[in-house]
């Protein structure tokens, strides 16, 4: 796994994911439509949420990524999908952590690669 995308958790680099999804969300304090159907809203922030998935991590890489996201919150730097040439840094927390182990040898069960999926939600 490479480190081309420059993703960091609290300035610690983590491997580039095999795939990633993003969600750009507008947060409103209120919003309603008037009699003509025009929306009147009070947008207060735009947040970027990410879902990263890794396939083929080693045990050491898996431990490194999971260890980086153990805190209640942390600084995540990842590509900004709106520009891609500039990173986005924000305060995040991680949702459920899901993954699996894939064993490649019956004779040596310690030979395995791991998958991991994490959803990063911006505060």
What is the mean predicted confidence (pLDDT) over 30-43? 86
Sign of CA dihedral 16, 17, 23, 28: negative
How far apart CA 44 and CA 41 sit, in angstroms, is: 9
pLDDT tens digits, one per residue of 72-109: 999 999 999 999 789 999 999 999 999 999 887 777 66
Question: How long is the chain?
Answer: 123
Average pLDDT, the chain: 92
The string over 26-38, giving b where at least 16 C-beta atoms fall within 10 Å of a residue's C-beta and e elsewhere, is eeeeeeeeeeeee
Burial of 4 (0-12, 13-18, 19+ CB in 10 A): exposed
**Cα radius of gyration rounded to whole Å, the chain:** 18
Has residue 112 got a pLDDT over 70?
yes
DSSP 35-47: TT--EEEEEEEEE
pTM of the model: 0.85
* pLDDT at res. 87: 95
* pLDDT at res. 109: 61
Question: What is the DSSP secondary structure assignment for residue 110, as one 8-state letter?
Answer: T
């Amino acid at each position: 796994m490479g480190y081309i995308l420059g993703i960091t958790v609290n300035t610690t680099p983590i491997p580039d994911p095999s795939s990633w999804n993003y969600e750009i969300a507008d947060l409103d304090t209120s919003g309603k439509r008037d009699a003509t159907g025009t929306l009147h809203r009070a947008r207060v922030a735009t947040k970027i949420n990410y879902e990263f998935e890794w396939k083929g991590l080693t045990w050491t890489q898996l431990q490194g990524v999971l260890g980086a996201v153990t805190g209640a919150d942390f600084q995540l730097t990842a590509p900004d999908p709106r520009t891609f040439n500039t990173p986005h840094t924000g305060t995040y927390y991680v949702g459920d952590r899901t993954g699996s182990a894939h064993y490649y040898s019956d004779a040596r069960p310690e030979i395995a690669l791991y998958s991991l999926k994490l959803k990063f939600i911006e505060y």
